[in-house]
Structure formats: structure tokens, C-alpha cells
Structure 1
């Protein structure tokens, strides 16, 4: 007859291995938000940007982010296309409408960089 202590230990080992396997498989698939982000990025790579370099457009600030240079950048969208905006004054806030000028695109044309022109 099997000793219950041995069976219990084997159960713990099986549970631990099952948990490791679950985490590994989940890590490959990624979280729901990671998958959605990847899907949006892939879709953006397949479409033409809705703006051209030099265009002047009005956007609402959707959020602020810190650029790797240490600068604070506003983020806006034009028809869902992400635009990172430089030189935004400190008194601007999320939801403010601003005029911007498109300066450049990233390598894959999935986002753009723009310069703040004025608050609207």
C-alpha cells in the first residue's frame, strides 16, 4: 500500500509542474492587452498614414508620455493613427485640443512625430 505522505508529495510536484507549464504557455500567448496591441500594430503597418509630413492638423491630447530623451510628449491620434507631439507647453492637459505640424514618421510608418503649434 502507498504511504499517503508519498502520494501527497507527488501531488505537490504535479501541481508545481502544472503551474509552470501554464505560465509558460500563457507567456507565449501574451495577455489580452498585449495581443490587442500587437494586432493594432500589425494593422497599422498595412495602411497608409492619414497625414503627410508638413500637414497641419488639430488633435485632442489623449495622454502624456516620457520620451527616452527625458522630454514630456503629448500623444494624440488622427483617425486612430498615433502622433507623438513635441514642445507641448506645461499648461496643456489631457483632452485639450491643439494644432500640430507633422514632422516625421517612424520606420514602419505606424506613428508620427509632430510639433506643437498652438492651443485651439
Structure 2
């Protein structure tokens, strides 16, 4: 019976340590994201409304507009690209036209122009 309690206690310790490690990693990622956001607020955007840029698609994301958009970056500045054709995949280069800045000018919305 003692072995059962020891095994259960050891399992609980392992699960607890794993949970702490995951929590620390998330908080570290959260801090890095906050620092990047603050830095973006302090600089002028490297894009202009009406101009087109070639970006690599880094991911697809749900956007506040309700649709799915491609995410790309220009000098680390995030573009949310709408109207991307279904054949485009992560890693593909695309050309996108900037149509508006988001609050704080820390990112911009763009529309798909063509494959890059």
C-alpha cells in the first residue's frame, strides 16, 4: 500500500512541475509579445497606405473582421491580408496592398493583389 502512495505522490509532483514549466513558457512568450507591441508603438510603420508589398505568409489567423486572413511582415511590421485565394499556403510569397492601419499603427490591414 505504501508503494501506491509513493507512486501517486511522485506522479503528482511530475505533473505539477510540468504545469509550472508550461506556465513559465507562456508568460515568457507573453512578455516577449508585449515588448514587441510596445516597440511597434514607438516607431513609424515601414509601410504606407495605398502601397503594395511582397510578404511571405507566416500563418493564417482569425481576424477581428470575422474572416480568416494571411499574416505577413514587412521589416517586422505585421500585415493582415484579406481576400487571399485558397491555394495560398504558409511560406508562399504574396503581394498585398495596404488599405488601413490598426489602432496605434502597430499593424495594418491589406488586400491580396497577386502571388509574389
Common fold: TM-score over 0.5:
yes
Question: Does 2:105 align with 1:109?
Answer: yes
Give the drift of 1:66.
Answer: 1.3
- Corresponding residue for residue 76 of structure 1: 72
TM-score by length of 1: 0.73
SS of 1:38's partner is helix
Are residue 86 (structure 1) and residue 82 (structure 2) matched? Answer: yes
Match of 2:92 among 90, 96, 116: 96
Give the alignment of 1:1-120 within 5 angstroms. Answer: 31-120=27-116
Determine helix, strand or coil for the equivalent of 1:37: helix
Quote how far apart the aligned CAs of 1:69 are: 3.9
Q: Which runs of 4+ in 1 moved over 4 A?
A: none
For residues 86 and 75 of structure 2, the distance between their equivalents in structure 1, rounded to whole angstroms, comes to: 25
TM-score, normalised via structure 2 length: 0.76
Unaligned runs of 5+ in 1: 1-22
> SS where residue 104 of structure 2 aligns?
coil
Consecutive unaligned residues of structure 2, counting only runs of 5 or more, are 1-19
SS at structure 2 position matched to 1:108: helix
Whole-Å separation in 1 of the counterparts to 2:64 and 2:53: 25
State how far apart, in whole Å, the 2-side matches of 1:58 and 1:91 are.
17
RMSD: 1.8
